[in-house]
Every structure is written in structure tokens, then in C-alpha cells.
Amino acid sequence: MGRVFVVDLEGRSYRCKFCKTDLALADQIVSRQFQCRRGKAYLFHKAVNLMVGPNEERLMLSGNHTVADCFCCCCGQMVGWKYVAASETDQKYKEGKYVLERGRIVDGVVESSELYVGNYSLSTSDADDA
Ligand SMILES: [Zn+2]
């Protein structure tokens, strides 16, 4: 696998739950009312650091859509999908936008406790006598 160029986002962001890569900015949220097969999801104007899979037709509650699954470019986990095209006129606003599953992203702000855990495990490794 080649090296992936990762975009760092300025401001409050949502990150990949699995590897903490920035995926989208909180102020890019269009809607928090989305629902996917696995639960809640957010619709974003723009998302970064994603690999977009092949287009596929998917019948959703709001009509037929052409969508493409999106994967985190760093860890390869599926994190959501992109709306490529919508067949219903009132769903056209979604075209080109991204849905990220709430259960697969984390709020970038709630980070300090995890950082602390990271530092702690680093200091205990000193006890290792070689
Ligand atoms: Zn990831």
C-alpha cells in the first residue's frame, strides 16, 4: 500500500473511530437526522481522507439513489457513503454529499482522556528491563 496523504482539518472535527483520522468538520454538517442500517448517521457537505468505492444503486426510504461506500483512507474501515445521484427531485440536494455513520466516527473534541491514557502506557514501558 502506498503512503496516503492525510488532510488535517482546522476546527472541530469528526474523526475515524478506529484510527482518529480527521474525516469532516462539524460546521460542514447538513443534517444530524440521518438513519442508516446500523443506526444514526450525519450528512456532511464535505468529507476528507476517504476512499470512495464503486457506485451502486440503493433503494432507500427516500427513493432510489446512486451511492458509493466510503472507507477511511488510513485504516480502510467503512465509515459511511457518498450520494452520487438521487432519482427523486426533492432528494437532489444530497448529491455530492457524504454520510458518516455516527457509530463509526468520534467527536474530535472528546480527546483529552484518550491522550492521557496514551502517555500513561508510554511511561510504564520504562519498567521493561532488557
Ligand atoms: Zn480510520
Q: Is residue 3 part of a domain?
A: no
Q: How far is the CA of 25 from the centre of ligand 1 (A)?
A: 16
Q: What is the pLDDT of residues 15-28, one digit of tens each?
A: 999 999 999 999 99
Q: Would you place residue 4 in the very low, low, confident or very high pLDDT band (cuts 50, 70, 90)? A: low
Q: Lay out the sheet containing 78-86: strands in order across.
A: 29-36, 39-44, 98-101, 78-86, 63-72, 50-60
- pLDDT at 61 (0 to 100): 82
User: Cα separations (Å) of 79 from 17, 70, 75, 102?
Assistant: 9, 6, 10, 9
- Going from the Cα of 16 to the center of ligand 1, the distance in angstroms, rounded, reads 5
Query: 92 — phi, psi (to 5°)?
Result: -60, -25
Q: What is the Cα–Cα distance from 19 to 106, expressed in whole angstroms?
A: 10
In a domain, 45, yes or no: yes
Structural domain contains residue 6: no
Question: Domain of 105?
Answer: 13-129
81 in any annotated domain? yes
- Say how many Å lie between the CA of residue 21 and the centre of ligand 1: 6
Q: Identify the CATH number of the domain in which residue 59 sits.
A: 2.170.150.20
Tally of domains within the chain: 1
Question: Would you state the cell numbers that stand for residue 83, as one nine-digit string?
Answer: 450520494
**Within-domain flag for 1:** no
In-domain check, residue 2 = no
pTM: 0.78
38 CA to centre of ligand 1 in angstroms: 18
Chain segment 87-130, per-residue pLDDT in tens = 999 999 999 999 999 999 999 864 444 444 444 444 444 545 55
